[in-house]
Amino acid sequence: MSNKIWKSVFVVCAAGCLASCSDQMDYNEYNIFDKDYITQNFGNVGGFMTDIYNTVEYDFGNYSSGAMQASATDESEYSLLGNGIEHFYNGAWSPTNAKASVWSNMYKGISTCNHVIYELQGLSFDELKLNNDYAAQLHRYENYKYESRFMRAYFYFCLVRQYGDVPLVTKQITAEEVNSIERTSADEIFKFIIDECTEIQSLIIEDYSNLGEFSTGTEETGRADRLAVLALKARAALYWASPLFNPSSDKERYYMAALYTKELLDAAEKRGKGLTANYADLWDAGSFNTPGIMKEILYGRRYYKNSSGDNLVESNNYPVGIEGGVGGNCPTQNLVDAYDMINGKSISEDGSGYDEKNPYQDRDPRLEATVAVNGAQWPTYSGAAKIETFQGGINGEPLTGATPTGYYLKKLCNGAISLASNSKFKESRHTWLTFRLGEFYLNYAEAVFKYLGGADITSMEFPMSARAAASKTRQRAGMPDFEQGMDANTFWTKLCNERFVELAFEGHRFWDVRRWKEADQYFKNIVEMKLIKEADGSITYVRKNVSRQWDDKMYLFPIPQSERSKNPNLTQNPGWE
């Protein structure tokens, strides 16, 4: 390979949304330099790692000009008409409008990873040799190749879940080779991810908070460690076992998913990890350095524009009617209905106590943590009024951008932020939770249930039942465990619902429904709630059904036509020809 670094691949581009991925990793802008320059000092090489970490996905409303991917599902509806998120369900999605950012970003990340793995090894950094922390810095550098291999596997996971078969590039290749490479089967991609994680899990740094003599003095909580590797392997195995990628219903894949997830849970427990006490704390500004919150986070993508933080989530989702609010990603009635009553029964079950005239009373506490309902104090900063989402209310229709569903988003937002022009607290740090333990208890429940065939069945290898694992996140919220003795269909419905509730707006729903191949059940209809304030002050709640388009070809994304024009060997996904 030429010593000249390709600008399109290796330059760390200046962008509006820049994230520092650890307490030590700072953003730098690099020009085009030759290999000798890049490798002559530790900081230059470290810049490539920053670029890799900055490629990790997050979705604080950046998916489509403020819209989260959640608004392409039954989780939410974007309040401003004409946003590109509508293309997922209005027929405008196509190979020429392929939503191709993941394709380009992930392959850019893969190229940078391959460069670190093959071109930036065996260095000694003479300029550091007289420093007291030389051994620690060299230890950090030696870990780069394992971080890069983990990130490369992560980028391939993002690609395979979206496209299925994709080109597998595990070395540096020429531009000519790039434009002639064929797609590799999804099976082989998943095997690659799992094998890579298995190989590096004992090689990558186990715990950055316990480096001993190799400590640099600052806990690098934003870097991928052994638990992150185990998490990726376990999640990839579950996706590979799911109907979208497992048409023959091979139960051995569910066995492997259960085994790898148990391996992760056991390793996390050994490290002292566990569920944080308060669900809402997971999105606190201090989540990255608060031990009681960090205990659940296995890996998170930091997002902030400067040392104070940012207000991207709040500016994208605060209610219309307050200064700076645009409405944004508004939770649907579908999601609100998913929250059980505090007694553990769904709102439609006999004996639940659900009152249609007082619909938010005695509900799962995660509803209040996630959704801002009419009359709630939201935002929470001093002087903010209680929101009015009824027709004609200060935050309701017919105001432009007002919630069409009757709700606003609280989860992920910091309600103490005021977007007012005279505010002194306009920004705070945010962390996108790529992997957290709550997800993996539910992943384990799914894999064990599918493998063993029942909610309460255990084995010597899997002593925790699917029901027990699925109850973990409910226990944290103060909700009753799932009842014993449920039949398979009932438990599956309950488990899917628990994922809907627990993982709302964390980027899972879009992919869960696809990998289950259950979009006909969930994505063809959303429900809005129209609130009408009567003369006596009471509220009447009126449901409105809204149809959305779905075609089974949408289980996978179209291969971008721009890529196929450059490379005729890229075949198109079924239905998108």
Is-contact 381 372, C-beta < 8 A? no
d(CA 189, CA 317): 36
d(CA 229, CA 198): 8
pLDDT value at 192 more than 90: yes
Residue 496 CA, distance from chain mean position: 17
pLDDT value at 22 more than 70: no
At 126-168, the pLDDT tens digits run 888 888 888 888 988 999 999 999 999 999 999 999 999 999 9
Is-contact 518 536, C-beta < 8 A? no
Q: What is the structure's pLDDT at 201?
A: 98
d(CA 557, CA 540): 41
The torsion angles phi and psi of 47, rounded to 5 degrees, stand at -60, -35
% residues pLDDT > 90 (the chain): 81
- Nearest residue to 276 (alpha-carbon basis) of 100, 448, 477: 477
Task: Looking at the structure, give the CATH architecture of the domain made up of residues 7-65+99-304.
Answer: Alpha Horseshoe (1.25)
Is-contact 237 161, C-beta < 8 A? no
- Examine residue 379 and say whether the peptide bond preceding it is cis (omega within 30 degrees of 0): yes
Q: Which two tokens stand for residue 507?
A: 């980027």
- Nearest residue to 45 (alpha-carbon basis) of 54, 32, 35: 35
pLDDT value at 241 more than 90: yes
d(CA 66, CA 396): 19
Residues 130/134/135/138 CA torsion (nearest 10 deg): -130
Q: What is the structure's pLDDT at 38?
A: 58
Q: Indicate the domain borders of the chain.
A: 7-65+99-304, 66-98+311-428+505-577
Q: How many CA atoms lie within 13 A of 321 on its CB side?
A: 22
Across 359-374, average pLDDT: 98
Is-contact 300 288, C-beta < 8 A? yes
- DSSP code, position 373: -
Residues 131/134/137/141 CA torsion (nearest 10 deg): 130
Q: What is the structure's pLDDT at 62?
A: 82
Q: What is the structure's pLDDT at 213?
A: 82
pLDDT value at 510 more than 50: yes
Helix, strand, or coil here: 469? Answer: helix
Is-contact 254 450, C-beta < 8 A? yes
Is-contact 352 341, C-beta < 8 A? yes
Per-residue pLDDT band at 36 (split at 50, 70, 90): low
| Region of residue 505 (left: phi > 0; alpha: psi -120 to 50; beta: else) | left
pLDDT value at 533 more than 60: yes
Query: Do the domains 7-65+99-304 and 66-98+311-428+505-577 sit in the same CATH topology, yes or no?
Result: yes
| Region of residue 135 (left: phi > 0; alpha: psi -120 to 50; beta: else) | alpha
Q: What is the structure's pLDDT at 340?
A: 98
Per-residue pLDDT band at 384 (split at 50, 70, 90): very high
How many other C-beta atoms can be found within 10 angstroms of the C-beta atom of residue 482? 24
Q: What is the structure's pLDDT at 15?
A: 29
% residues pLDDT > 70 (the chain): 92
At 444-463, the pLDDT tens digits run 999 999 999 999 999 999 99
Q: What is the structure's pLDDT at 113?
A: 96
Is-contact 437 298, C-beta < 8 A? yes
DSSP codes joined into one string, 259-284:
HHHHHHHHHHHHTT----S-GGGGGS
At 301-324, the pLDDT tens digits run 988 777 778 999 999 999 999 999
In sequence order, the β-bridge partners of residue 531 are 541
pLDDT value at 16 more than 90: no
Helix, strand, or coil here: 294? Answer: helix
Q: What is the structure's pLDDT at 76?
A: 98
- DSSP code, position 498: H
Per-residue pLDDT band at 174 (split at 50, 70, 90): confident
At 465-490, the pLDDT tens digits run 999 999 999 999 999 999 999 999 99
pLDDT value at 413 more than 90: yes
Q: Which two tokens stand for residue 51?
A: 């670029």
Q: What is the structure's pLDDT at 39?
A: 61
Is-contact 384 377, C-beta < 8 A? yes
Across 47-62, average pLDDT: 91
- Which residues have a Cβ under 8 Å from the Cβ of 515 and sit 6 or more positions away? 161, 239, 242, 243, 244, 245
Q: Which two tokens stand for residue 463?
A: 């002593």
Per-residue pLDDT band at 37 (split at 50, 70, 90): low
At 269-299, the pLDDT tens digits run 999 999 999 999 999 999 988 999 999 999 9
d(CA 90, CA 547): 10
- Which residues have a Cβ under 8 Å from the Cβ of 368 and sit 6 or more positions away? 360, 376, 410
State which amino acid sits at residue 511: W
Is-contact 309 505, C-beta < 8 A? no
d(CA 10, CA 141): 18
Residue showing tokens 């649907």: 332
Is-contact 227 298, C-beta < 8 A? yes
pLDDT value at 12 more than 50: no
Q: Exposed, middle or buried, 262 (CB in 10 Å: 0-12/13-18/19+)?
A: buried
d(CA 282, CA 293): 6
Across 76-82, average pLDDT: 97
Q: What is the structure's pLDDT at 182?
A: 97
Task: Looking at the structure, give the CATH architecture of the domain made up of residues 66-98+311-428+505-577.
Answer: Alpha Horseshoe (1.25)
First vs last Cα of the chain: how many Å apart? Answer: 36
Across 39-53, average pLDDT: 82
In angstroms, the Cα distances linking 12 to 6, 310, 430, 543 are 11, 21, 22, 49
Q: How many CA atoms lie within 13 A of 569 on its CB side?
A: 11
Per-residue pLDDT band at 217 (split at 50, 70, 90): low
Q: Which two tokens stand for residue 273?
A: 């990890």
Per-residue pLDDT band at 556 (split at 50, 70, 90): very high
More confident residue, 123 or 7: 123
Per-residue pLDDT band at 31 (split at 50, 70, 90): very low
